[in-house]
């Protein structure tokens, strides 16, 4: 017997979707958001065709049996992360009200669907279909997918999770672990950098319209995400090492990209103080010294380094690691 389900409340047509002033959206930013959609159409790539061409050039994907489980676990994060990004961008496409932001989110949903199926097909061909994710990463993705405010979904996915995905692409591409995978990475990197732009161009307007309480809740949400991300890196430590990647290097690349994305966000908001970013950065730096220490560093020394990172910050991050993260031109 069919159970009766409560119907969702009907949503009215958003006749006000073109009223940018109502959303606090500047004309210039609206134009950029609209261009994200059209650029995505122009630069759309056929995932099946690209994968086929790479296999023709390099042969079927192959990684030796010793390293395959590690690669499978690392790319499980990408594959399920792509699904999470697909779900979040589809929710944003549905729920964001301004016309131009809706367009940008819609194009992202289209990109993420492609990223998901290409990664799925690749991992299947490699014989490395992942079973399930490490719990901390599962929690991170679930925090973003089920966030109770659109701004949290936007900041969580576009400015916290996308930069981490970009850092995995960066290290895997640099090491050239498997040629077909290396060939796929630039296609992903190009699309993901565009997705960061949606966060940069729409979040400032959204945050400006939030109450102080909502802003405080957004900051505590970011701290929780940072904690889950670092615990997630701990879960992947063994796999990074098996692939010849120093886990601290991978986290540093992610930190650089995240910091640049958040720097650009507060710059877009016209905030000159670096205090909010510095606080987040010191928090992640201090946690990193405890959770991801250099090999064989005893606990007492870990704590000392952690306190030092919290009090004085960590060594400057190389900005060149975040080259692809930039404010899109209007």
Query: Smaller CB distance to Fe ion: residue 85 or 206?
Result: 85
Q: Are 150 and 216 in contact (CB under 8 A)?
A: no
Q: Shortest Cβ distance from residue 183 to Fe ion (Å)?
A: 17
Q: Which of residues 80-99 bind Fe ion (CB under 5 A)?
A: 82, 85
Matching residue, tokens 């900041």: 155
Q: Where are the beta strands (DSSP E) in 101-174?
A: none
Q: Shortest Cβ distance from residue 38 to Fe ion (Å)?
A: 17
Q: Shortest Cβ distance from residue 51 to Fe ion (Å)?
A: 15
Q: Work out the end-to-end distance of the chain between its first and last CA atoms, rounded to an integer number of angstroms.
A: 55
Stretch that binds Fe ion, among 17-25, 62-70, 193-201, 266-274 (CB under 5 A): 193-201
Query: Smaller CB distance to Fe ion: residue 23 or 110?
Result: 110
Q: Shortest Cβ distance from residue 186 to Fe ion (Å)?
A: 13
Q: Shortest Cβ distance from residue 187 to Fe ion (Å)?
A: 10
Stretch that binds Fe ion, among 54-62, 77-85, 175-183, 253-261 (CB under 5 A): 77-85
Q: Which of residues 223-262 bind Fe ion (CB under 5 A)?
A: none
192 binds Fe ion (CB under 5 A): yes
Query: Smaller CB distance to Fe ion: residue 85 or 104?
Result: 85
b/e code 254-268 from CB counts within 10 Å (16+ = b): bbbbbbbbbbbbbeb
Q: Shortest Cβ distance from residue 108 to Fe ion (Å)?
A: 6
DSSP state letter for 320: G
Query: Smaller CB distance to Fe ion: residue 49 or 56?
Result: 49
Q: Which of residues 104-123 bind Fe ion (CB under 5 A)?
A: 112, 115
Query: Smaller CB distance to Fe ion: residue 119 or 309?
Result: 119
- Which of 244, 242, 230, 225 lies closest to 293, judged by CA? 230
How far, rounded to the nearest angstrom, does the alpha carbon of residue 239 sit from its chain's CA centroid? 20
Query: Smaller CB distance to Fe ion: residue 246 or 326?
Result: 326
What burial class does residue 114 get, using C-beta atoms within 10 Å of its C-beta: 0-12 exposed, 13-18 middle, 19+ buried? buried
Q: Shortest Cβ distance from residue 131 to Fe ion (Å)?
A: 21
Query: Smaller CB distance to Fe ion: residue 47 or 204?
Result: 47
Q: Which of 87, 153, 195, 257 binds Fe ion (CB under 5 A)?
A: 195
Size of the site for Fe ion (CB under 5 A): 6
Q: Shortest Cβ distance from residue 190 to Fe ion (Å)?
A: 11
Token representation of residue 31: 């134009």
Q: How many CA atoms lie within 13 A of 39 on its CB side?
A: 20
Query: Smaller CB distance to Fe ion: residue 79 or 85?
Result: 85
How far is Cα 282 from Cα 161, in angstroms, rounded to an integer? 19
- Which of 155, 191, 167, 240 lies closest to 40, judged by CA? 191
Supply the DSSP string of 195-257, one letter for each residue.
HHHHHHHHHHHHHHTS-HHHHHHHHHHHHHHHHHHHHHHHHHHHHHHHTT--HHHHHHHHHHH
Residues of this chain that bind Fe ion (CB under 5 A): 82, 85, 112, 115, 192, 195
């Amino acid at each position: 017997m069919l159970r009766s389900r409560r119907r969702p409340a009907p949503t009215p047509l958003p006749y006000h979707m073109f009223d940018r002033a109502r959303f606090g959206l500047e004309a210039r930013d609206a134009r950029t958001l609209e261009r994200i959609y059209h650029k995505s159409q122009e630069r759309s790539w056929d995932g099946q065709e690209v994968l086929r061409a790479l296999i023709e050039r390099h042969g079927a994907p192959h990684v030796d049996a010793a390293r395959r489980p590690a690669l499978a676990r690392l790319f499980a994060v990408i594959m399920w992360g792509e699904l999470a990004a697909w779900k979040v961008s589809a929710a944003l496409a549905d729920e964001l009200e301004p016309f131009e932001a809706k367009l940008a989110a819609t194009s992202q949903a289209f990109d993420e669907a492609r990223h998901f199926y290409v990664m799925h097909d690749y991992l299947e061909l490699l014989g490395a279909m992942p079973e399930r994710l490490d719990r901390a990463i599962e929690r991170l993705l679930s925090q973003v997918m089920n966030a109770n405010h659109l701004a949290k979904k936007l900041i969580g996915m576009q400015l916290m999770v996308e930069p981490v995905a970009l850092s995995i692409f960066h290290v895997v591409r640099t090491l050239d672990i498997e040629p077909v995978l290396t060939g796929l990475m630039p296609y992903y990197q190009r699309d993901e950098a565009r997705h960061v732009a949606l966060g940069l161009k729409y979040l400032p307007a959204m945050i400006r319209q939030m109450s102080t309480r909502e802003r405080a809740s957004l900051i505590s949400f970011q701290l929780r995400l940072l904690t889950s991300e670092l615990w997630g890196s701990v879960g992947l430590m063994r796999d990074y090492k098996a692939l010849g990647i120093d886990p601290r290097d991978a986290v540093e690349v992610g930190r650089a990209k995240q910091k640049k994305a958040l720097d650009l966000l507060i710059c877009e908001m016209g905030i000159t103080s670096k205090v909010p970013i510095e606080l987040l950065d010191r928090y992640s730096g201090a946690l990193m010294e405890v959770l991801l220490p250099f090999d064989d560093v005893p606990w007492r020394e870990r704590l000392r380094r952690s306190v030092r990172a919290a009090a004085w910050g960590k060594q400057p991050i190389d900005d060149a690691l975040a080259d692809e993260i930039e404010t899109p031109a209007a």
